[in-house]
Amino acid sequence: MAKNQQNAFFDGDKQLRKIEEQYPFFQILNEDGEVVQEEALPDLSDEKLQELMKRMVYTRILDQRSISLNRQGRLGFYAPTAGQEASQIASQFALEKEDFILPGYRDVPQLIWHGLSLRQAFLWSRGHFEGGRIPEGVNVFPPQIIIGAQYVQAAGVALGIKKRGEKAVAVTYTGDGGTSQGDFYEGINFAGAFGAPAIFIVQNNHFAISTPREKQTAAATLAQKAAAAGIPGIQVDGMDPLAVYMAVKAARERAIQGGGPSLIETVTYRYGPHTMAGDDPTRYRTSELDNEWEKKDPLVRFRKFLEKKGLWNEEMENNTIEKAKEDIKAAIKEADNAPKQKVTDLISIMYEELPQNLREQNEIYKAKESK
């Protein structure tokens, strides 16, 4: 069959172009803090805009202090978040208290702003069992270490919300690398098939540890992967807090009205290493690329926007920074004073009712600990 005859049945390139056109880049604020879509501006009061900025500044300080604490040996596992504040904090800002967050390991800031204490966040980093004991009324799960596993869990939580008839959503996060995992597809497909109220957020920071996004998928966007599950997807400027807020808010409203799940790709960047466990980003990222993304810094962009409106100044920023430092200092001290973890602590909280083998082990360890 001649090529022109083949194209009469199937023009693959044309089909790909058509798919890509359905996932344009959504932005409200450009790099200079200028509004490029007036009609898309969120209906947020001046106080709410200031609160969002405070949370982003606070989170940047939390990241800086957490890196220092990790280097001092006072924290365990830590994945830096600088650069992703708009993606993380603005997405959580669009949620309600009754919504559930199922995070990846870089998503601790969202948990804190959803109600988890700094003390518990620090204990989780240390591997202390108290760090994973979520208080009643705080609708979050402990950070998931297995890449993409939280997507399957979020689909299940969302289905439970639907079956109970609640007006809430389950929100989960993964990175660009997570979209190459089987759990990612299983999660979005299950939620789509059952119309579960879930919001799947992909934080595309361009590198899965050291692997560039272009080497793990031929898809022009990650948002378009939603099409395979029959759910809507959108690609958002992940350095623009207002665009992220509006995308998540719209997805939430759609979900609680029975519209089912959505997939949101936030195009962002992490300024630091993948984790503090020996990753060296200079081996796979150029200084030119880092400089390019630093010009898109979400804090700088939002600060310019608020300053033009007379809603932010140096004093407010400094007060927020000092508040963050004080809170972090107090929380790490509380974490230092937490009871030393024992094997029996872990065994006793593993099940509501311990099976026989664990009851026997628990008695053995109790005897050892009493000596």
52 near 259, Cβ under 8 Å? no
The whole-number pLDDT of residue 149 equals 97
C-alpha closest to that of 241 among 302, 317, 319 = 302
Contacts of 21 (CB under 8 A, 6+ apart): none
Residue 99: what residue type? D
| pLDDT by position in tens, the chain (length 371) | 555 555 666 788 888 888 888 899 999 999 999 999 999 999 999 999 999 999 999 999 999 999 999 999 999 999 999 999 999 999 999 999 999 999 999 999 999 999 999 999 999 999 999 999 999 999 999 999 999 999 999 999 999 999 999 999 999 999 999 999 999 999 999 999 999 999 999 999 999 999 999 999 999 999 999 999 999 999 999 999 999 999 999 999 999 999 999 999 999 999 999 999 989 999 999 999 999 999 999 999 999 999 999 999 999 999 999 999 999 999 999 999 999 989 998 898 888 899 999 999 999 999 988 87
Q: What is the pTM of this model?
A: 0.94
204 near 25, Cβ under 8 Å? no
> How many whole angstroms separate alpha carbon 78 and alpha carbon 261?
30
Domains of the chain are: 19-338 (3.40.50.970), 341-371 (no CATH)
In this predicted model, what pLDDT tens digit does every residue of 144-169 receive, in sequence order?
999 999 999 999 999 999 999 999 99
Task: List the catalytic residues.
Answer: 270, 274, 284
The whole-number pLDDT of residue 352 equals 87
The whole-number pLDDT of residue 222 equals 97
> How many whole angstroms separate alpha carbon 222 and alpha carbon 151?
15
